[in-house]
Amino acid sequence: MNILVNPAPSTWKKELARPVFKTKEINKIVKPILRKVKRNGDKALYKFAHEYDHVDLDSLLVSEEEILAASAALSPELRQAIETAKANIERFHQAQASPELVEEVMPGVLCKRRSVAVQRVGLYIPGGTAPLFSTVLMLGVPAKIAGCKEIVLCTPPNREGKVHPAILFTAQLIGIHKIVKVGGAQAVAAMTFGTASVPQVDKIFGPGNQFVTAAKQLATKYGVAIDMPAGPSEVLVYADESAVPSFVAADLLSQAEHGVDSQVVLVTHTEKFAKKVLKEINKQLEKLSRRDIAKKALNNSVAVVLQDEDEAIALINEYAPEHLIISVQKEEETVDAIVNAGSIFIGNYTPESAGDYASGTNHTLPTYGYARNYSGVSLDSFVKKITYQKISPEGLKNLGPTVEIMAENELLDAHKNAVTIRLNYLKENNL
């Protein structure tokens, strides 16, 4: 992890470049997978399970017996932790519900807007190097609160054909029963086109590797929505001398261990503090079980020293991090100045891992700079906003002439006539 001292703004984009996706090469692999699943359905999924997961499955669906056995396989401590996290996530996402909006914009013209659940959603849960049962909570809880009619969960099995019991327990706790033993791009393909075992969905959620990401983006060409474009996970920590170096190092490493293509960034005001953090990183790194992954991620990472606070904030907003940790003295002032970030963690005692698991906010967030124009997953991600209008005879008399004039000037005679014919009817019938 290199230290850059006062890099010029013109170099920021280059110095903070994320690991590059070789999109063309990835799509060459992913497109045939989508075609085969579309053409051959379950048969293709069994074949890919053998090829990629090295397992010959008897069934693509998790059985009720497997789900029931999952609870017994977990420690009471883990079950309690998952239940506590679920309660917090549930509470925060329930609070996001917006009431039906009703507004009479002028006499006789009533407008409404209400939220309607996306009917069929697919949740992709990674299960490779780390079984992300926490993501089941982050996606399943708001899907249930929104009232999605059908929820399908896809996750890869291990070499024994089993799904991690924590994933199954969490799904059962939420009330998700359609669990499919399929991972990778083939899972996205199955939810996009539908197979005998996997229902077709309207929207696909969830993180994944570069092949899953590419498959999700290709799915949009077939009329399926996705939560957001995404790349490898990332964190930026903005810390000054008021921060604790060991805390900062731990936060950087917690993100670096996600994957070799993850990126972590430190922004601080002095080279001295940056070196303290790097020293702590080296100290903590050797104790990590996933240290080899973290080491490779650190090769994509950088510490940036900027003495000017305004420049530091400008760099953060340009980078638009997925996770942003702020540990500086001018806490509130700094937070107010941030306009591009997926989720913000404030103060020395707010580790990013709290949001990853149990604080209540969602951990499915825009990466790769997409925080400039995308939000993280929330209750709103699982609903559509439908607008309604009802106009009374009085309302049409009030509004009609405005519509007629606008339609006439856009040369859309039929639009104008749809109003005029009604106004004439009202006049002829003394209504």
User: Which residues pair with residue 346 across a beta bridge?
Assistant: 326
Cβ-contact 1, 278 below 8 angstroms: yes
- Name the active-site residue from 269, 322, 352, 363: 322
Is 93 considered catalytic here?
no
Cβ-contact 132, 158 below 8 angstroms: no
Question: Exposed e or buried b for every residue in 220-250, given b needs 16+ CB within 10 A?
Answer: eeeebbbbbbbbbbbbbbbbbeebebebbbb
Is 255 annotated to bind a ligand? Reply is yes
C-alpha to C-alpha distance for 263 and 256, rounded to whole angstroms: 6
C-alpha to C-alpha distance for 275 and 297, rounded to whole angstroms: 18
Is 217 annotated to bind a ligand? Reply is no
Is 269 annotated to bind a ligand? Reply is no
Is 323 considered catalytic here?
yes
C-alpha to C-alpha distance for 418 and 307, rounded to whole angstroms: 64
Strands 109-117 vs 120-124: parallel, antiparallel or unpaired: unpaired
Is 410 annotated to bind a ligand? Reply is yes
C-alpha torsion angle, residues 301, 132, 51, 225 (rounded to 10): -90
What 3-state DSSP class applies to 426? helix
Is 94 annotated to bind a ligand? Reply is no
Is 356 annotated to bind a ligand? Reply is yes
- Name the active-site residue from 323, 331, 394, 408: 323
Is 415 annotated to bind a ligand? Reply is yes
Select from 259, 234, 260, 226 the least CA-distant residue to 124: 226
C-alpha torsion angle, residues 310, 311, 314, 316 (rounded to 10): -110
C-alpha to C-alpha distance for 284 and 350, rounded to whole angstroms: 19
CA atoms lying within 13 Å on the CB side of residue 73: 15
Rounded to whole angstroms, what are the CA distances from 410 to 109, 313, 401?
Answer: 23, 46, 14
DSSP 343-366: EEEESTT--HHHHHHTSSS-----
* Phi-psi label, residue 122: left if phi above 0, alpha if psi -120 to 50, beta otherwise: beta
For the annotated binding site for NAD(+), the residues are 124, 186, 209
For the annotated binding site for Zn(2+), the residues are 255, 258, 356, 415
Catalytic residues: 322-323
For the annotated binding site for substrate, the residues are 233, 255, 258, 323, 356, 410, 415
For the annotated binding site, the residues are 124, 186, 209, 233, 255, 258, 323, 356, 410, 415
